[in-house]
Structure 1
Amino acid sequence: MAFPGEDELVTLITPVTDSCGLDIEGIKVTRAGRKSVVSIRVDSDSRPDLDLLEAVSQEVSARLDAAEERGEVNLGAGYTLEVSTPGVDAPLTLPRHWRRNRNRLVELLEDGQKSVWRVGALAPGEDSVVLVRPVKKGCEMRVLEFSENPRAVVEIEFATPPAAETELTGLDYDQALAWQEENK
């Protein structure tokens, strides 16, 4: 009976997350002596609520317990299971992260420089995203290519976003490119 690795746990719990329409955003197993903590981060486009997270936690726990009983995994003398969402401080590393944060502010780090943009439409091929920010006379728009390996995190915003920005982030990708071309 071996202590399970991340890949083994992903294989074990994917049927549960798939059936609930969730993506596994990360798994971390921390051994603390004979016991362990299994932390699983999940997310979806519809933002999982606490009831769904509780249901997933119960199903995953049952699968882990059954795998231990069959001798497939060994999580130690006992384990604590934590199922949560990534949180707003998680970096945006995949196209789905950008899609899920549309209309939100993000802090972008490029060439050692920080800038703040509002997330717009994802390209149909999911290889780039439209970003918008205010300038003196309106708004500036740009397309960020994911091949540039951007570093970005969501900025917490307490005020209602300006209508001019949300109007632009509400455009689909082709409409946004047309607006950008017209407003050079």
Structure 2
Amino acid sequence: MSARQAETQAQIEAEIADPLGVHGLDVEAVEITPAGKRRVLRIAVDKDGGVTMDDVAEATRTIDGVLEASDVMGEMPYTLEVTSRGVDRPLTLPRHWRRNVDRLVKVTMGDGSSFTGRILVTDDVGATVEVSGVERTVRLDEVDKALVQIEFNRKPVAGADAGDIDEEDDA
């Protein structure tokens, strides 16, 4: 990525952060890629509780308004794509850990050791992860990489409302 492109992406993020914050949304990524005579501007957003289609629509309207009032994208045409943060993105900020409490995560520490466990609690400094039935405290600044693991057959948590499980009705 060129220095100019990195500067443009940082400027876009700075301009849209506060307007999206009004809707409870955080900017997770800004990416500009060439696509023929156009460019594609992809912006990933997230919020506590997850992003809905309505959130994406609201974010798209908000970002479009900000960019129309700005010259940050210049004269070259572009296509705006707004999306939610993918599950495959690394947990790099305390809010990522907070938003993934009760999820399975593979953690690689700065010393090269790694483990997989379930995030129990977290704050701005660290997290408690259950690894094979044992609670382990992890300082976030000592984590080299952390990725949420996809679980297809996870049993519902005891006491969870059956309405929380995504299944089709038999009716």
Fold match by TM threshold 0.5:
yes
In the TM superposition, residue 163 of structure 1 has moved relative to its aligned partner by 5.4
Partner Cα separation in structure 2 for residue 152 and residue 162 of structure 1: 24
Q: What are the equivalent positions in structure 2 for 1:72-111 lying under 5 Å apart?
A: 72-110=71-109, 111=111
In the TM superposition, residue 133 of structure 1 has moved relative to its aligned partner by 2.3
Give the unaligned 5+ runs of structure 2: 159-171
Aligned residues: 154
Other-structure match for 2:121: 121
In the TM superposition, residue 73 of structure 1 has moved relative to its aligned partner by 2.8
Partner Cα separation in structure 2 for residue 142 and residue 160 of structure 1: 21
TM-score w.r.t. length of structure 2: 0.79
The answer to whether 1:148 aligns with 2:137 is: no
The counterpart of 1:63, out of the listed 60, 66, 84, is 66
The counterpart of 1:46, out of the listed 49, 69, 75, is 49
- Name the Cα RMSD after superposition: 2.4
1:51-77 alpha-carbon deviations (Å, 9 max, x no partner): 11012102211221232xxxx334443
Partner Cα separation in structure 2 for residue 146 and residue 113 of structure 1: 14
**Change over 3 Å in CA distance of 1:133–1:74 after alignment to 2:** closer
Partner secondary structure for residue 69 of structure 2: helix
Other-structure match for 2:35: 32
The counterpart of 1:133, out of the listed 104, 107, 131, is 131
The counterpart of 2:20, out of the listed 5, 11, 17, is 17
1:81-104 alpha-carbon deviations (Å, 9 max, x no partner): 111111110000111111000000
Other-structure match for 2:164: none
Q: Which range moves more in the overlay, 76-85 or 42-51?
A: 76-85
Partner Cα separation in structure 2 for residue 120 and residue 76 of structure 1: 48
- Preserved contact between residue 31 and residue 41 of structure 2 (Cα < 8 Å): yes
**Change over 3 Å in CA distance of 1:7–1:141 after alignment to 2:** same
Moved over 6 A (4+): none
Give the unaligned 5+ runs of structure 1: 165-184
Other-structure match for 1:157: 151
Q: State, as a whole percentage, how many aligned pairs show the same letter.
A: 33
- Preserved contact between residue 104 and residue 154 of structure 1 (Cα < 8 Å): yes
